[in-house]
Structure 1
Amino acid sequence: MINLESSLSYMKQHPYRYNKQKWKVLLFLFAALIAAASLLYSNYLVKNLSKSERSKAQVWAMSTQSIVSMPDVDDQFISFIYAVRDSLSLPAIITNEENQIIFWRDLDSTKTNIPLVAQDSSNLLDHDPGYFEKQLAKMKKSHPPIIINLDTGEKWHVYYHDSEALRQLRIFPYLQLSLIAIFLIIAYTVFNSIRDSEQNLVWVGMAKEAAHQLGTPISSLMGWVELARITYENNDQQLFDEMERDIKRLEIVADRFSKIGSTPSLSNLVVFDVVQEYVNYFKIRTSKRITFELIGDQHVEAMLNIQVFDWIIENLLKNAVNAIEGEGKIIINISENIAKEEIFIDISDTGKGIPRSNWEMIFQPGFTTRQRGWGLGLSLTQRMVYYHQGQIFVKESEIGKGTTFRIILKSNLRYEPTQI
């Protein structure tokens, strides 16, 4: 079920996205209104045309009745009746009370005067029984018959079906709306793609500019640390070592931003070693009330880019730390599914947990439950995992007990380079 409280919170935090969704709904309702109006008007036209064809069928039936019932009428009048009847173009069949076909009009001319034997034109049938039976069955389903009462007391039944023009008019609005819908879907997809490309170019430009701007102060800091090390060489050197590690970390961060929009290379690395190196760096800079445990296969290898993959682990560990209130534990378990040639990296915490309704939403750009969060961390993490041709998802989570994220990588990956 959808968590209403989190949805309302998301709308308040991101009014632009909410307004965008509102406009989409309004446009959809407007399009549905146009479609409904088009269908109603088409149905109105179809009903009127159907009434007109019913009138034509009745006139044809009456003219046929006149010809049959008044054989001795003046030839000029009979000619007029024939002219009236023949001017009414409508597929129709007349049957007697025994359901035998007496007259027909505007049916397939190739189905009349059929030879009884192939290549024999000396003995002919008036019509093809199979074809006419099928046509009669269709006409009976289409409209109720028109009754002709003859002077002899006999009753004939006139059956007809819609003209080709009316049949096309019935399906035309659906065909028209389908084509319009296809066009709108294609146009929407193309415009969205163009807009996303433009936004990506902006973000890529900003990321590269940030990396460029970080370059100068990082170089200065390296010089100042070296100068301080020389000046205070008798003091605790561990402090300077940690400062250098932080500066190198800044270099890595700057390098990450410079790689956005480009195609970094992958190398075959031991997953456990890469994760362990970052965990050792990260846990020193985290509360001592939170413990870290790295377990699992220490030898499995995968194609990784260290700078990008560290970023993935960093984002997940930061989320885990933020989810833990007070004391807690973070467990990273690395395992391999040999049968499927997959590597599993499970990152579990003992934090507050994620509602089931948010398991998919947390990877959407802008979604966050924190007051000051931008909601880009997990979205960017997912993109970087995709860059490694892997998957990431919430494996399990329970409110008040914790969450486990799972990353799946291919152990036999043949790398096809893509952009981050």
Structure 2
Amino acid sequence: MNTYENKRFWKYILLAFALVIAAGSLIYTNYLVRNIARAERTRAQLWALSIRQSLTSDDNDFLPYVLTVRDSLAVPAIVTDEKGDIKTVRGLDTTKTYIDLPPDMPTNGKAPKYDPAYFKGELEIMKSQHEPIIINLPGLGHGNNLVYYKDSSLLTQLKMFPYVQLSVIAVFLTLAYSTFNSSRKSEQNQVWVGLAKETAHQLGTPISSLMAWLELLKDKFNAEEDPLVLEMENDVKRLEIVADRFSKIGAKPKLEEHYVYDVVKDFVDYFKVRVSAAINFEVTGDKNLVAGLNIPLFDWVIENLLKNAVNAIEGKGSIRINISDNKTKDLVYIDVTDTGKGIPRSKFATVFQPGYTTRKRGWGLGLSLTKRIMESYHNGKVFVRDSEIGKGTTFRIILKSINDHA
């Protein structure tokens, strides 16, 4: 298991642990809700019985106790007859009434507002929450009466509590993760910039020495045109470019206008003689497309994609780089297509993650650097356009085109 997959494994473990905590919170809260709901139904039944007792009792000494019990057990409730007509209510908005009061009724300026729609709505809520309690209440119509009730505010709040709690925890974890991730990336960037600049500094001295030794070699053996010496000189110049790349990390590079085809072709010509002859290279497309490029960094992008393609090809194969444009959006497309082993669709985004690699001795940084260079320094994009297992992969680079030279 590589570093990236190991990190992802632990993320899944932590996610599973969080889900267990959330599920436990919901289960326990639901357990409390069921117990309170049963207790509230018992209270509603006792309230209904206490109403009947208060309506039928002739014991004036006992009646105050009945009324006290009735009031202490009250939950928001509506009593209807068998037809559904409201007969009495309890625990609802006291500023409203379900019956039209007589106009001559004394109100002292505080008459409840006639609002049958409110009580109808409350009744529908109660019907949706609980089955009614059936009881016969003298004086409230013939036949049985139906006592509907709804959850108390305490029970409603308790039902909502786990969701509020989990939401708050989720927001907190999201903010904490974002802050931690931002801090970690900033720290990684600082380490990366420091390491890159130190590498460029360390490479400077031996590169200068090698250039001097090459000049002495050419003079001593009259080897100005010797192909081996020329290739050595090309490699030393390449080392200069690599050192220059590292020195530019952390600073905004200057982009200059270049013909994209020429830049890509020059690098491919350098690169292809340094890999297996069994791999065929081809550069095709529009030669007149211009884009803003920093050549040392952009060559690094092409190099990483070509190395990735070479590693994907087992034995004989081909790599084709096609350059095209989207005139409507002023974009330049560079498609790098290989005949390698392919990438699973589930890994299209993963291959750009730092540390992800399928090679036993790979660091998993090449494509991650490619993405960083394109997005941070060239305002472009790079992604897996298409891939098929056993047939090959196409990476696409997108750049903003400059039409002045087209």
Sort the TM-score into its range (normalised by shorter chain). Answer: 0.7 to 0.9
Structure 1 residue 399 displacement after superposition = 4.6
Does residue 406 (structure 1) correspond to residue 393 (structure 2)? The answer is: no
1:149 alignment counterpart: 136
1:137 alignment counterpart: 124
Amino acid in structure 1 at the alignment position of 2:51: T
Structure 1 residue 52 displacement after superposition = 2.2
Alignment partners' CA distance in 2, 1:349 and 1:177: 48
SS of aligned partner of 2:83: coil
8 A Cα contact 1:114 1:125, kept in partner: no
Q: Residues 49 and 342 from structure 1, CA distance in 2 versus in 1: closer, same or farther, beyond 3 angstroms?
A: same
Structure 1 residue 132 displacement after superposition = 1.9
SS of aligned partner of 1:411: strand
User: Where do residues 9-88 of structure 1 align in structure 2 (5 Å cutoff)?
Assistant: 11=1, 14=2, 16-70=3-57, 73-88=58-73
Q: Residues 155 and 404 from structure 1, CA distance in 2 versus in 1: closer, same or farther, beyond 3 angstroms?
A: closer
For residues 332-364 of structure 1, give each alpha carbon's deviation from its aligned partner in whole angstroms, at most 9, with x where no partner exists.
221122122111112233444444454433323
1:102 alignment counterpart: 87
Bigger mean CA deviation after superposition, 363-372 or 233-242: 233-242
Alignment partners' CA distance in 1, 2:223 and 2:53: 128
Decide which of 247, 251, 254 is 1:258's aligned counterpart. 247
1:392 alignment counterpart: 382
Structure 1 residue 220 displacement after superposition = 0.8
Does residue 272 (structure 1) correspond to residue 261 (structure 2)? The answer is: yes
Bigger mean CA deviation after superposition, 178-187 or 235-244: 235-244
Bigger mean CA deviation after superposition, 323-332 or 239-248: 323-332
Does residue 284 (structure 1) correspond to residue 273 (structure 2)? The answer is: yes
Bigger mean CA deviation after superposition, 299-308 or 335-344: 335-344
SS of aligned partner of 2:64: helix
Bigger mean CA deviation after superposition, 343-352 or 219-228: 343-352
Amino acid in structure 1 at the alignment position of 2:357: T
8 A Cα contact 1:351 1:403, kept in partner: yes
Question: How many aligned positions are there?
Answer: 396
1:5 alignment counterpart: none
Amino acid in structure 2 at the alignment position of 1:76: D
Decide which of 220, 224, 233 is 1:231's aligned counterpart. 220
SS of aligned partner of 1:75: coil
Alignment partners' CA distance in 2, 1:346 and 1:126: 74
Amino acid in structure 1 at the alignment position of 2:400: K
8 A Cα contact 1:148 1:155, kept in partner: yes
User: Where do residues 212-361 of structure 1 align in structure 2 (5 Å cutoff)?
Assistant: 212-233=201-222, 236-361=225-350
Amino acid in structure 2 at the alignment position of 1:135: E
8 A Cα contact 1:116 1:125, kept in partner: no
Amino acid in structure 2 at the alignment position of 1:128: D
For residues 141-187 of structure 1, give each alpha carbon's deviation from its aligned partner in whole angstroms, at most 9, with x where no partner exists.
22222233357984222221111111111111111111111111221
TM-score between the two structures when normalised by the length of structure 2: 0.87
Structure 1 residue 68 displacement after superposition = 1.4
8 A Cα contact 2:44 2:74, kept in partner: no
Structure 1 residue 252 displacement after superposition = 0.7
Alignment partners' CA distance in 2, 1:361 and 1:330: 22
8 A Cα contact 1:138 1:161, kept in partner: yes
User: Where do residues 106-185 of structure 1 align in structure 2 (5 Å cutoff)?
Assistant: 106-112=91-97, 127-150=114-137, 154-185=143-174
Amino acid in structure 2 at the alignment position of 1:102: K
Q: What are the ranges of 5 or more consecutive residues in structure 2 without an aligned counterpart? A: none
Structure 1 residue 92 displacement after superposition = 1.4
Alignment partners' CA distance in 2, 1:42 and 1:326: 62
Alignment partners' CA distance in 2, 1:401 and 1:35: 45
Does residue 90 (structure 1) correspond to residue 75 (structure 2)? The answer is: yes
TM-score between the two structures when normalised by the length of structure 1: 0.85
Q: What are the ranges of 5 or more consecutive residues in structure 1 without an aligned counterpart? A: 1-10, 414-420
Structure 1 residue 306 displacement after superposition = 0.5
Structure 1 residue 293 displacement after superposition = 2.5
SS of aligned partner of 1:109: coil
